């Protein structure tokens, strides 16, 4: 297989966690992604079951923080977002900032809204491969809607898209 160019249709999963819902900052966070030029291709408001959390957090199985994390994630609904764009998994991770809000640079979501390593406001997939697995947990394929932003030309140069 030849090395493929970055995919402008790459997708990633973001969860706006119960602390984002409780604090009423869901709109502000979605705004950041829209203003960056990232395309929203799926959105759901949902309470998470134990089963869905076990699937989602499979990589953290056995870690000491997992039981408390699951309790926190079940406290209130979350907003699940499917986001699309060039290198979107990496870009969204950078916008979220490192896990512990105390270490997160100002200007990142966690840097601006979190003082904790547990109530971290957002989840984002660690890379495009993880995103594929995680998106399938939260969205059926028909619930992700492809569309073109009419202002795409202003967010990307033509040679970045082809």
- Picking from 89, 133, 92, 132, the residue whose alpha carbon sits closest to that of residue 110 is 92
Which of 118, 149, 155, 156 is close enough to bind ligand CDP by CB under 6 A?
118
Residue count, binding to ligand CDP (CB under 6 A): 7
Provide the annotated active-site residues. Answer: 123
Q: What is the CA radius of gyration of the chain?
A: 16
CB of 129 to ligand CDP, least distance (A): 14
- Picking from 93, 88, 94, 89, the residue whose alpha carbon sits closest to that of residue 160 is 88
For ligand CDP, the closer CB: 32 or 149: 32
Which of 20, 113, 123, 134 is close enough to bind ligand CDP by CB under 6 A?
123
List beta partners, residue 16: 79, 122
* Tokens describing residue 109: 């979501």
Q: How far apart are CA 69 and CA 55, in angstroms?
A: 13
Compute the C-alpha angle 26/124/24, nearest 5°: 10
Q: Is 56 in the site for ligand CDP (CB under 6 A)?
A: no
For ligand CDP, the closer CB: 38 or 69: 69
Which of 44, 70, 75, 117 is close enough to bind ligand CDP by CB under 6 A?
117
Query: Interface mask (CB under 6 A) for ligand CDP, residues 59-88, using x and -?
Result: ------x---x-------------------
């Amino acid at each position: 297989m030849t090395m493929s160019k970055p995919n402008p249709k790459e997708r990633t999963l973001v969860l706006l966690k119960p602390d984002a819902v409780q604090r009423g900052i869901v709109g502000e966070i979605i705004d950041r992604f829209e203003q960056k030029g990232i395309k929203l291709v799926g959105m759901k408001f949902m309470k998470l079951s134990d089963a869905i959390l076990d699937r989602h957090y499979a990589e953290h199985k056995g870690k000491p923080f997992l039981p408390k994390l699951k309790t926190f994630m079940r406290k209130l609904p979350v907003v699940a977002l499917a986001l699309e764009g060039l290198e979107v998994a990496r870009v969204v991770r950078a916008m979220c900032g490192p896990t512990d809000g105390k270490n997160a640079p100002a200007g990142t979501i966690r840097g601006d809204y979190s003082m904790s390593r547990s109530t971290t406001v957002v989840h984002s997939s660690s890379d495009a491969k993880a995103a594929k697995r995680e998106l399938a947990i939260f969205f059926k394929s028909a619930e992700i809607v492809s569309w073109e932003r009419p202002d795409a030309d202003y967010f990307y140069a033509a040679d970045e898209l082809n």
